[in-house]
Amino acid sequence: GAVVSQHPSRVICKSGTSVKIECRSLDFQATTMFWYRQFPKKSLMLMATSNEGSKATYEQGVEKDKFLINHASLTLSTLTVTSAHPEDSSFYICSAGRDRGVHEQFFGPGTRLTVL
Amino acid sequence: AQRVTQPEKLLSVFKGAPVELKCNYSYSGSPELFWYVQYSRQRLQLLLRHISRESIKGFTADLNKGETSFHLKKPFAQEEDSAMYYCALSGARGTGFQKLVFGTGTRLLVSP
């Protein structure tokens, strides 16, 4: 149990367009979802934490208007990269937790975003 | 600031040899430490956490608050242990630091 999916797994877009990434908890209700970004050969960096029904909490240095996060239901969170630019190219990973803490997180497979 | 350091990018051992993946942390509060593993073409998954005090797939890790370390150990490495290992830190339950900070990861390569 405790499976998290992400869609799409890969996306290539033109500079200036917006891209939406979905994160779903398939067999449990996720009160908290986390969005991470991973650069090549680097660690995962937390971008934001979202609790269902409330606004996301963004980490320092992450632009809220650039990376829009919506967590409208207990099984779905979305990350929209607005007006994407090549420097936004990265691997985006979501995770979902069953409680409001970090102590039991289940990770999605990640989404590779390439902005041309 | 909270920080997790994994000094080795790559650790290469032969099958049957002991393995120790190093992890040091910096955190002023009461920490909770985790090891996550990512096998080739698979997602990140929890290997073990210090509060569970359990052995998973033969791996153990002991939290040493004096040395601020949480090294991952296995007495006899197997080829299927080859993967990327990430050490991660959060605050203990009930604290205000409820997020995971990851180290940069160590790639373990076990050769036959």
Span A39-65, mean pLDDT? 88
SS3 B84: strand
Task: Please give the residue that has the higher pLDDT: either B53 or B79.
Answer: B79
| Chain A nearest CA to B12, separation (Å) | 17
pLDDT value, residue B76: 97
Reported as a single tens digit per residue, the pLDDT across A80-90 is 999 999 999 99
Q: How far is CA B11 from CA B37, B69, B73, in A?
A: 14, 18, 12
Q: For residue range A10-47, what is the model confidence (pLDDT) as tens digits?
A: 999 999 999 999 999 998 888 889 999 998 777 899 99
d(CA B89, CA B51): 12
Segment B25-51 mean pLDDT? 91
3-state secondary structure of B58: coil
Determine whether the interchain pair B45/A107 forms a contact, defined as Cβ–Cβ distance below 8 Å.
Answer: yes
The string of DSSP codes covering A19-85 is EEEEEEESSS--SEEEEEEE-TTS-EEEEEEEETTSPPEEPTT--TTTEEEEEEETTEEEEEE-S--
The answer to whether B84 faces chain A, any CB pair under 8 Å, is no
Chain B residues near residue A107 by CB distance under 8 angstroms: 43-45
Residue A72 confidence (pLDDT): 82
Three-state SS annotation for B41-52: CCCCEEEEEHHH
CB contact B100 to A (< 8 Å): yes
What is the average pLDDT score of chain B?
A: 92
State the pLDDT at residue B99: 86
Give me the residue from B42, B43, B86 closest to A43, CB to CB.
B86
Mean pLDDT of chain A: 91
Q: What is the pLDDT of residue A1?
A: 67
Q: How confident is the model at residue A100 (pLDDT cuts 50, 70, 90)?
A: low
Per-residue pLDDT, averaged over A65-74, amounts to 91
Q: Are B10 and B106 in contact (CB under 8 A)?
A: yes
pLDDT of residue A102 exceeding 70, the answer is no
Mean pLDDT within B21-40: 94
pLDDT at A108: 95
Q: Phi then psi for B55, rounded to 5 degrees? A: -110, 125
pLDDT of A99 over the 70 cut: no
**B84 to chain A nearest CA, in Å?**
11
Burial of A2 per CB tally in 10 Å (0-12, 13-18, 19+): middle
At B105 the pLDDT is 95
The rounded distance, in Å, linking the Cα atoms of A84 and A98 is 31
Q: Residue B26 has what pLDDT?
A: 96
